[in-house]
Chains A and B, each alone.
Chain A
């Protein structure tokens, strides 16, 4: 059995962890505050050698959720960082300065869910056409 990375994740993230959920030995969901997201991503990506897979924006009843999925390929474990954003002004720091792979997915969440990514270098339409009506977000629940 290859070495389990999760104890290290727990130790490094420390008190930034708001909620820790072990779905099974390969899937972990960790809730963090939105102000800590850049730091948490740096810890996983730079320090521990996780690979960024993708992010999933979800429109829940009370708030927006973003799940940042990271995989640790030596053990095949996936850690999903969950952040909750309020509905009035959904915004969060961009992760593009940590890894370039965040650029497209943040643009996608911006246009489909209307979440603003602070510090994104090129926040414009990715999937939708440039003349898409402003303030119309297809993945938001009506």
Chain B
């Protein structure tokens, strides 16, 4: 097929809800994706540049606004970077609180992903249930921090707010109630032959490609790469608690889904151990005072729900950094779609692109344009319908 007769499916780039707008151009031959072009930059706000105009304490708030879903990941990595530069250690109580906030965030982020993944393949019940349980996590975050998102809990040298003793039973109750729900989701995925048929072998990222694209987080761990910053370089309270890092081998959408469900169990385990430890620690000791940032460089990382967040900070001894480099996990993961989506059918494209957990809202506005006739062939809704129809077909054939 000649170059100008290939059809392009543009996915993206804009929607008012989206947090990371991306623009995928899928080149298709009939039903098969033969090439993919990824364009980003629609929401480039120049935060690295903005950081050089703010003082160190303000940056914890500005980096929190990089991402609406994993809003605590960036301040977490940022304070790690500044504390690496300073060479200080934070009080034990602050460490536990930091880990609790980080894991609560992982819970709500994974539940959000699970719901959307369900919707994409035509399991709207999973979507509704998953988001129902996500509410309870967001409510607990609001109780602890005052906000459902953008918790503003982190500061250089510690945390801004304590978790008082009388709140602990409430958090524990939420964790206990979430476990049966996770069991239900796990059963729904593991025991359903339709989901096996629909997701296994779809959007495979091989281990070799995963290494070359340097992917991180659940995307890497589903391809058999055992990396997790929480284990590899324990920070906050992650060195003080027991937990496992699930690793799977196949690299398909099924494994990426299972990994996220298994990780939620581990998050609950971590939160419960941290809460136990908080009961023993004296209240109030949540920060060390930092009033001067010397000249130097610092690197901080945090295992966000989507993978490793990386912050590099360089100080010249003034109250503002001279360079602040930020690398979010999707920056590494999204490029891997170049191999994962090619060779798939269009009905698998939506779930494959979604499986690395970029922001979904960006894919809400899709049209297929026939280049020859300049005619709209598919809309994004049609694409989701295609994906859901495929599931229906599998259901009937089983």
Cβ-defined contact, B335 with A100, below 8 A: yes
Q: 10 more A-B contacts (CB under 8 A) besides A100-B214, A104-B335?
A: A23-B296, A54-B327, A58-B323, A67-B312, A73-B227, A73-B232, A76-B232, A101-B332, A126-B40, A129-B41
Q: A24-B87, A56-B323, A127-B40 are in contact. Are A103 and B335 (CB under 8 A)?
A: yes
Expressed in whole angstroms, the minimum distance between the Cβ of B121 and any Cβ of chain A is 29
Cβ-defined contact, A101 with B233, below 8 A: no
Q: A24-B87, A100-B213, A126-B40 are in contact. Are A29 and B297 (CB under 8 A)?
A: yes
Q: List 25 A-B contacts (CB under 8 A).
A: A26-B233, A27-B298, A54-B310, A54-B312, A56-B323, A69-B299, A69-B312, A71-B301, A73-B226, A73-B227, A75-B232, A76-B232, A77-B233, A78-B299, A99-B211, A99-B212, A101-B214, A104-B335, A105-B331, A125-B41, A126-B40, A128-B41, A129-B41, A138-B49, A139-B48
> In this assembly, does B46 line the interface, its C-beta being within 8 Å of a C-beta of chain A?
yes
Q: Which of B87, B209, B233 contacts A76 (CB 8 A)?
A: B233
The residues in B between 280 and 332 inclusive whose CB is less than 8 angstroms from any CB of A are 296-299, 301, 308, 310, 312, 314, 322-323, 325, 327, 331-332
Question: How big is chain A's contact interface, by range?
Answer: 20 to 34
Cβ-defined contact, B299 with A27, below 8 A: yes
The residues in B between 14 and 49 inclusive whose CB is less than 8 angstroms from any CB of A are 40-41, 44, 46, 48-49
* Chain A neighbourhood of B325, CB < 8 A: 54, 56, 67
Mostly, the B contact residues are mixed
Q: What's the Cα separation between A80 and B312 when bound, in Å?
A: 11
Cβ-defined contact, B214 with A138, below 8 A: no
> In this assembly, does B249 line the interface, its C-beta being within 8 Å of a C-beta of chain A?
no
Interface residues of B (CB under 8 A from A): 40-41, 44, 46, 48-49, 84, 87, 209, 211-214, 226-227, 229, 232-234, 296-299, 301, 308, 310, 312, 314, 322-323, 325, 327, 331-332, 335
* Chain A neighbourhood of B331, CB < 8 A: 54, 104-105
Q: A56-B312, A73-B232, A101-B213 are in contact. Are A127 and B297 (CB under 8 A)?
A: no
> In this assembly, does A42 line the interface, its C-beta being within 8 Å of a C-beta of chain B?
no
Q: Which of A69, A76, A101 has the most CB of B within 10 A?
A: A101
Expressed in whole angstroms, the minimum distance between the Cβ of B309 and any Cβ of chain A is 10
Cβ-defined contact, B227 with A51, below 8 A: yes
Expressed in whole angstroms, the minimum distance between the Cβ of B370 and any Cβ of chain A is 24
Q: A101-B332, A101-B335, A138-B46 are in contact. Are A52 and B214 (CB under 8 A)?
A: yes
> In this assembly, does A10 line the interface, its C-beta being within 8 Å of a C-beta of chain B?
no
> In this assembly, does A53 line the interface, its C-beta being within 8 Å of a C-beta of chain B?
yes
Q: What's the Cα separation between A138 and B45 when bound, in Å?
A: 12
Q: Mark A17-40, 1 if CB is under 8 A from B, else 0.
A: 000000110110100000000000
* Chain B neighbourhood of A138, CB < 8 A: 46, 49
Q: What's the Cα separation between A69 and B214 when bound, in Å?
A: 12
Cβ-defined contact, B308 with A53, below 8 A: yes
CB closest chain-A residue, reference B220? A51
Q: Which of A53, A67, A74, A139 contacts B49 (CB 8 A)?
A: A139
Expressed in whole angstroms, the minimum distance between the Cβ of B50 and any Cβ of chain A is 11
Cβ-defined contact, A27 with B84, below 8 A: yes
Expressed in whole angstroms, the minimum distance between the Cβ of B124 and any Cβ of chain A is 35
Cβ-defined contact, A58 with B314, below 8 A: yes
* Chain B neighbourhood of A67, CB < 8 A: 312, 325
Q: What's the Cα separation between A51 and B301 when bound, in Å?
A: 14
Counting from the closest, the 6 A-B pairs by CB-CB distance are: A76-B233, A101-B214, A56-B325, A127-B41, A54-B327, A127-B44
Expressed in whole angstroms, the minimum distance between the Cβ of B41 and any Cβ of chain A is 4
* Chain B neighbourhood of A101, CB < 8 A: 212-214, 332, 335
* Chain B neighbourhood of A56, CB < 8 A: 312, 323, 325
Q: What's the Cα separation between A100 and B213 when bound, in Å?
A: 5
CB closest chain-A residue, reference B215? A101
* Chain B neighbourhood of A23, CB < 8 A: 84, 296-297
* Chain B neighbourhood of A99, CB < 8 A: 211-214
